[in-house]
Structure 1
């Protein structure tokens, strides 16, 4: 039975809440509906940055001391407002929605310690929007020894099966952290984080010129990458570890940055992200024929140019070129995962998160 689901995603880039409608049975996608976006205010972003700074002190996933409790309330309200605006703008009644997939805001991801923390009160959200909410997607995987990320590969596979392209295909998601899904057209589904996505670049932009991100990669296009620094950074042991593997947003935040100009720094960190994605190719079973790029990085023209250079002769294109939505992809995925969760289908697999056997997940909060 097909379900009508709304997916919600607030990523590590801290930009806002993506909303998307999808019709799915948890295996196939019958239709992609409208999408929307609710930006975080500067105050909300400030709260989330404080929460990220405090989160490393957590030793329990349900603890919300101090600023984390304040940030959780803000995240919940922002998501409730995002849903309310979305259904109003698209003239959808709450009764027409079967399930909402609510990822929450990741503030800490330490799978080696079996700890992953996403803030957001699903029960309060369900009551506010009057729709059942599936949430807490990652916890079961991490508790069972998995990496708890990435979780979108099953959705990437559902979309890729409709392309009719030569296999293998890799879907690259460049959010705060970058991750890939390797799809061979058969049963193989391999996924992992590849390294920094936009997080290092966004933080650098904010510190140096007070901008939240490098719009279309314009600043990076004016600079020259520090290739020596990039080569040194790519010697980190993470980049030779085989999949599956995952990262916290801040795992590379301690890298010593040099005294670059704003343009050179943007170019260097963009080149680092592209190089980290290219570094996964030798670790895959076969060289991919094509790469499909989604997430915020797909809007960065300098990032896309660098990826084409690094990944040649494979074809590199954005999801928008295929009629998919780069902006809505992860929100759609969590609508898809919510449907899978309702039906008890696996959300993660040994070759995507390293868990010992396919894992179901998600908890249901009712209005």
Structure 2
């Protein structure tokens, strides 16, 4: 039923493996969309799941299916804990991104785990999920999907920049929403800082003490992906094939690697934020990397705006909640101008619990 208010629990797991982001939010429509976040929490992954999810690339489809079932069960129980903890009731549905296991749109292949029917059965509620698969079937990249939310919820900004596992951006251009992945961020920074037995480089302090290696920086900036036109997207497979082997060739100390990668990230983002005096909303875990943000502010023509903690950490989960609402209304939630699909469409699988 089309209505003006939706109460949604939305779930997101990103490539940086920070954890499972869950938000309880209300969306209202009164000629335009608005939202209110009631509760939000990130559930850190157990050692088992962090290891399992980091090793999905290279798994057979049969192995992935087995992991998929277990992960759907795991995800559902985390959502159940969230609902119980915050005494959430009266929701319309759960909207879930799942977790990217394979992303090869050029081969018409994308696989999000966490979308099995057991998810709805455990929760005993309607679940809207698996938002990418239809777009890839329509010839699209299946990513990024957040830009429709940027357009409808964060229209006061010229650019919406997310610094998660990857940097991605969205903006309006000639009345079309344009969006694409820019470069890897936390997926590589966290990989190299893990060699120091750390989960992440707190506020970029280690990177700030490293030396810039101009030869490596030049090689990184010459990677073929950066010359491709949008739409385009990145996955863990690309990082493992192109970035890590290149960095490892230089045999640098970890602080120098982090410093050089940070500069690489800033250069690639600066190439995109072209409008002088424009406003850029920055979200994702990278917004807490003070050194990265400092370098970006020094380099960029755009005004870099860091919002409140809730938006920094939960914007993607929030937007997937909106994607669920749009799917429930059978309204467009995936834009051909963003993904390269043959048409705009309403994407997502709807699961009803078995009674």
Does the CA-based 8 Å contact 1:170-1:288 persist in structure 2? no
What's 1:4 paired with? Answer: 7
Structural mapping, 1:140-151, within 5 Å: 140-151=134-145
What's 1:292 paired with? Answer: 281
Deviation at 1:310, TM superposition (A): 2.3
What's 2:328 paired with? Answer: 342
Does the CA-based 8 Å contact 2:148-2:335 persist in structure 1? no
Deviation at 1:98, TM superposition (A): 0.4
Structure 2 unmatched runs, 5+: none
Rounded to whole Å, the distance in 2 between the matches of 1:51 and 1:242 is: 28
> What secondary structure is seen at the aligned counterpart in 2 of 1:125?
helix
Q: Which of 175, 178, 185 is the matching residue for 1:190? A: 178
Q: Which of 77, 96, 101 is the matching residue for 1:102? A: 96
Query: With structure 1 as the length reference, what TM-score do the two structures score?
Result: 0.88
Deviation at 1:25, TM superposition (A): 5.2
**Alignment CA distance shift 1:30-1:43 (3 Å):** closer
Does the CA-based 8 Å contact 1:51-1:71 persist in structure 2? no
**Alignment CA distance shift 1:41-1:157 (3 Å):** same
Does the CA-based 8 Å contact 1:44-1:71 persist in structure 2? no
Q: Confirm whether residue 277 of structure 1 aligns to residue 273 of structure 2.
A: no
Deviation at 1:108, TM superposition (A): 1.2
Rounded to whole Å, the distance in 2 between the matches of 1:143 and 1:317 is: 36
> What secondary structure is seen at the aligned counterpart in 2 of 1:225?
coil
Does the CA-based 8 Å contact 1:244-1:353 persist in structure 2? yes
Deviation at 1:158, TM superposition (A): 2.1
Moved more, 121-130 or 133-142: 121-130
Q: Confirm whether residue 14 of structure 1 aligns to residue 17 of structure 2.
A: yes
Query: With structure 2 as the length reference, what TM-score do the two structures score?
Result: 0.90
Q: Confirm whether residue 122 of structure 1 aligns to residue 109 of structure 2.
A: no
Q: Confirm whether residue 218 of structure 1 aligns to residue 205 of structure 2.
A: yes
Kindly provide the CA deviation profile for residues 22-77 of structure 1, in whole angstroms up to 9, marking residues without a partner as x. 222576123222111111011111111222342xxx5xxxx4x23x2443244223
Does the CA-based 8 Å contact 1:155-1:333 persist in structure 2? yes
Rounded to whole Å, the distance in 2 between the matches of 1:15 and 1:295 is: 10
RMSD: 2.0
Q: How many residues align?
A: 343
Structure 1 unmatched runs, 5+: none
Does the CA-based 8 Å contact 1:202-1:213 persist in structure 2? yes
Q: Confirm whether residue 301 of structure 1 aligns to residue 277 of structure 2.
A: no
